[in-house]
A and B are shown apart, each in its own frame.
Chain A
């Protein structure tokens, strides 16, 4: 167990609906990363936070995606107007001063 939790573990939604995922790293993780993993592929970087500041966003993160990390603790990732192409596993990872990333179990999103 890495200590990083994600909620929900699974989400099924209809196309066009909004969804929000949550990631809870451990308190020592001053950095938090979001990745997306599609079937048969490795995770792809979406965005990351240094404490509460969002420092980089991938081109994969369209305008329908938004992420926050209020107070530098938990983080949320919201997808508006979901599309079938958004179906994937969304992973978050926390990183402390040791420079290693610890992953949560992921949220599997299915858009029907």
Chain B
């Protein structure tokens, strides 16, 4: 069965600095999608970035980028030039096959210090 593990329950970063959130997963599939979602306090979960497993190039969205290591089954999120608005719970998620249902990790709570 597919599983997603986020080993950092909480992280803290200074404003304007860079932080990396870790995620590992387990799967026997060769083609799949991985996602990072952001859930601000009392607000909707929004998609931050996605990665297709068949693509070797790491995805980038403005200040957000991933380090996708397929062989190691690792999918970390790097946030550059951190802003106060980046403070949120971040979830790593794996999308399963034809159903497209998502398997989430337990999340990492990111605090941004001014």
Contact = CB atoms under 8 A, between A and B. Distances in A.
Interface residues of A, number: 25
Contacts of B35: 100
Interface of B: prevailing SS? strand
B interface residue count range (under 10 / 10 to 19 / 20 to 34 / 35 or more): 20 to 34
B104 A44 contact: yes
A31 interface: yes
A110 B69 CA distance: 40
Interface string B13-51: 000000000000000000001010100000111110010
Given A41-B106, A44-B104, A99-B33, A56 B99 contact: yes
Contacts, number: 54
A91 B102 contact: no
A1 B99 contact: no
B101 A43 contact: no
B47 A48 contact: no
Given A103-B44, A105-B43, A31 B100 contact: yes
Given A99-B33, A102-B47, A105-B43, A42 B91 contact: yes
B103 interface: yes
Given A42-B91, A42-B106, A33 B101 contact: yes
Interface of A: 1-2, 4, 31, 33, 35, 40-45, 48, 55-56, 91, 95, 99-106
Interface of B: 4, 33, 35, 37, 43-47, 50, 91, 93, 95, 99-107
